[in-house]
Copies of this chain bind each other. A is one copy, B any other.
Amino acid sequence: MPELRKDPVTDRWVIIASERSRRPTDFVREPLPTTASGRICPFCPGNESKTPPEVLAYRTGTAPNQKGWSLRVIPNKFPVLGIEGELNREGEGIFDKMQGIGAHEVIIESPDHALSTAELSEKAIEQLIWAFRDRVRDLRNDKRLKYILLFKNHGEPAGATLEHTHSQLIALPVVPKRVQEELEVSEHYYKFKERCVFCDMIRQEVKDGSRVVTETDKFLVIEPYAARFPFETWILPKKHASHFEDLDQAHAQNLAWVMKSTLRKIESVLENPPYNFLIHTSPLQESANCYYHWHIEIIPKLTRVAGFEWGTGFYINPTPPEESAQFLREAGLA
């Protein structure tokens, strides 16, 4: 069972995933994962038996864990957290720990091995959005779970270990400190101004225009003012909403178009870079609030995070967001 441990100096929780335990020799620079070399892809249709049984699939007529699906969600074969058991919070001298309870699932976005998310049809991206929503709505019934991160690692430098296009979710028994911080700062702003900081940001960015990539009637795509990374890109719903999983049909449909358009622009301008995308949303067991505003952050992996960033949490970004916004706008492809 993995263990959650808290650092007493930073209040940061860490997952010590001892079941994935790696010895020094395991860390030698690994070769790129490849299926060209003839390895069998466990995410391809026909290989359903090579994964744990699915927890959700969109399919027409066929039986579970068989071919015929258009999207499939499975527990991660090597989960960083386990769903069975009790938290058992306890001390260890000055330290704090608990069992690594949570969920770790993989969303196989398409039966087609070779397509990137940007290359999927809008319909398929919309399906991915529904899968994210459906899994969150199911998992929130487990009251031990406090937060779910929905994310994607695209490309090996961004952490992907399998080529077949997929996203992940990790459900946690605590609200992570970084998320808690965003919530607190947003709530503080709301108390001071009686307005949501994200809603204010959207109004200012639309008026200013210099950091806007795309705008639809429902979403705004920007390069944020204090972007940590070159081409860091945020997708924000224009209407205030604290929880991603409350998304309605019209928003899901429009978001599918916006995501495809944005990812295509990024792939085109940066020549198919590795990237991560993450959905930032409010904690699972809390009701809708007026101060936090769910959104998607896309982070192309173009620069290396080095000693300075690790030591300070202060980022150095060599590309002003006004410049990256212009490159993305000029990419067209809308």
Give the interface of A toward B (CB within 8 A).
5-18, 20-24, 27-28, 80, 92-95, 147, 149, 151-153, 157-160, 168, 170, 172, 176-179, 181-182, 185-186, 189, 197-198, 200-201, 204, 208, 224-228, 230-231, 269-271, 273, 276-280, 297, 299, 302-308, 310-321, 323, 327
Q: When chains A and B are docked, how far (Å) is the Cα of A319 from the Cα of B176? A: 21
Nearest chain B residue, comparing its CB with the CB of A184: B11
CB contacts (< 8 Å) of A315 on chain B: these are 12, 14-15
Q: When chains A and B are docked, how far (Å) is the Cα of A313 from the Cα of B42? A: 30
Nearest chain B residue, comparing its CB with the CB of A269: B24
Contacts known (A316-B80, A317-B16); A151 close to B307, Cβ less than 8 A = yes
Q: In the complex, given contacts A9-B186, A80-B316, what are 15 additional A-B residue pairs having Cβ atoms less than 8 angstroms apart?
A: A9-B201, A12-B228, A14-B228, A15-B315, A151-B306, A158-B307, A159-B306, A168-B307, A176-B313, A178-B312, A179-B311, A179-B313, A277-B307, A278-B307, A297-B311
CB contacts (< 8 Å) of A308 on chain B: these are 149, 151, 168, 170
B14 & A226 in contact (Cβ 8 Å cutoff): yes
Contacts known (A306-B276, A311-B151); A15 close to B317, Cβ less than 8 A = yes
CB contacts (< 8 Å) of A5 on chain B: these are 225-226
Task: Show 15 residue pairs from A and B whose CB-CB distance is below 8 angstroms, ordered by the A residue.
Answer: A9-B201, A10-B178, A16-B320, A22-B318, A24-B270, A27-B273, A149-B312, A151-B308, A151-B310, A152-B307, A153-B306, A159-B305, A160-B306, A170-B308, A276-B307
Most chain B beta-carbon neighbours within 10 Å: one of A6, A177, A315, A319: A319
The contact of A225 among B7, B17, B227, B297, by CB within 8 Å, is B7
